[in-house]
Structure 1
């Protein structure tokens, strides 16, 4: 029996790359087709060398997507408002869903954002909710993954400013939920492998929840800079919609059921275990080039 084929969009980006990793880790179960704008890029060539079928495509081009979906059992969809713009993100998401609907795809896994169904006025949350609603209206068998803050943002350049902004909004005691991008890929793999359980579900994803001081202490304990200066709240308010997400973190924020998620995925990473794993991996191989095209969020 031929292994099912999964088309992964954004395959050289953060979330798409994590899904490709998870599926390629189970080569006896899946065939992977990786959609990218530039198959000649170094990351795309690396995916091909690992066994993925790499194809060119633009998520705003429905005909190109239909060609990429030929023979596909499932599709993983993720869009990035930072590269496509807010309207472009919605256009890409709707185009991908319509291509899946007319191509006979049996399972769509869509990467949204934690809290998309609960809060309005955060631009890149609103776009993902609009895409979710369109997906639901088509009646396609689907699973929605709603990640919380990426752990990766705490090791990016400029992370001290991000921590300072979070400190201003959250204060010292309000925790923030977070997820390792790697685990988003794992949950996508679980959804494709067990459609009877995951079809129709929307899962908010987190592996840890920590206060800003706890995040800083964890960074320091694993050899990373953990210093930050609290940004004045007046400056946050002056940012308008751009700061709405930070204030929402303090008002209600993410609400993932971490113990229940760990029952489904016992290897779910905490911030400390992710940092330790990342340090170990970097010690075993040369640093990898950064992936682009992940979720359009600065701190989530």
Structure 2
């Protein structure tokens, strides 16, 4: 019997790439098809060399999705407002959902954002909530993954500025939940593997919860830059809507049940173990 085919939209991005990695870890169970605008590009060639079927398509173009979705049992969907714009993100998400429904897809796993059902006024949360609502209305069997802050942001260029902004909003004692992108891929695979458990579920995803000073301490211990200067709150307020997320972190913030998630995925990474993996150091 043929292995079920999973189409991964956004396969050359961080979350989509993590889903591809997780599915390939169980390659005897799945066939993996990657959707990309340019299969001939370097990222597409790397995927093809790993045994992934790479197809051309645009999430905003329903016609281009028909062939990509042919024979697909499941779809993983993620959109990025930074590259597509806010309106473009919604258009891509809705178009992919509609194309998947028309193709008879049996399980749609959508990457949203943690807390999306509890807060309004954060632009890139509102777009994902609109896509979630459309997915529900479409009636597709679906699992919603709602990741919290990516651990990766703490090692990116400009991370010290981000930490300073978080310190301004959270202070020294309020904690922030976070998740390794790799673990988003694992939960997507679990959803496809166990549809009887995950269909209809919305999972807020985190593997650790730390204060800003503790984040800095973990970074320094792993040999990463952990210095930051607390940004004046008046500057945050001047940012308008862009700072809404930071103030929401202070007001209530993410609420993932980390112990319950770890029961489902015992290898769920903490910031310390993620840093050890990414820096080549061994976790104590």
Aligned to 2:127: 127
Q: Which segments of 5 or more consecutive residues in structure 1 lack a partner in the other structure?
A: 282-300
Aligned to 2:264: 264
Aligned to 1:84: 84
SS of corresponding position for 2:3: coil
After the TM superposition, which residues 1-300 of structure 1 pair with which residues of structure 2 at under 5 Å, given as runs?
1-280=1-280
In 2, the alpha carbon distance for the partners of 1:6 and 1:61 equals: 19
SS of corresponding position for 1:200: coil
Q: Find runs of 4+ consecutive structure 1 residues off by over 4 angstroms.
A: none
In 1, the alpha carbon distance for the partners of 2:8 and 2:27 equals: 15
1:18-65 C-alpha deviation (Å, 9 max, x unpaired): 000000111110000000111111111111000000011100000111
Aligned to 1:294: none
- Which moves more between the two structures, 63-72 or 184-193? 63-72
In 2, the alpha carbon distance for the partners of 1:84 and 1:28 equals: 34
- TM-score normalised by length of structure 2: 0.98
Deviation at 1:148, TM superposition (A): 0.2
1:118-148 C-alpha deviation (Å, 9 max, x unpaired): 0000000000000000000111000000000
Deviation at 1:278, TM superposition (A): 0.6
In 2, the alpha carbon distance for the partners of 1:239 and 1:9 equals: 32
Q: Which segments of 5 or more consecutive residues in structure 2 lack a partner in the other structure?
A: none
SS of corresponding position for 1:241: helix
**How many residue pairs are counted as aligned between the two chains?**
281
In 1, the alpha carbon distance for the partners of 2:263 and 2:254 equals: 19
Deviation at 1:196, TM superposition (A): 0.3
Deviation at 1:92, TM superposition (A): 0.4
Deviation at 1:171, TM superposition (A): 0.2
Deviation at 1:159, TM superposition (A): 0.1
Deviation at 1:245, TM superposition (A): 0.2
Looking at both structures, which has the greater relative contact order when contacts are Cα pairs under 8 Å and sequence separation is at least 6?
Answer: 1
In 1, the alpha carbon distance for the partners of 2:110 and 2:140 equals: 11
1:231-274 C-alpha deviation (Å, 9 max, x unpaired): 00000000000000000001000000000000000000000000
SS of corresponding position for 1:161: helix
Deviation at 1:191, TM superposition (A): 0.1
In 2, the alpha carbon distance for the partners of 1:225 and 1:88 equals: 35
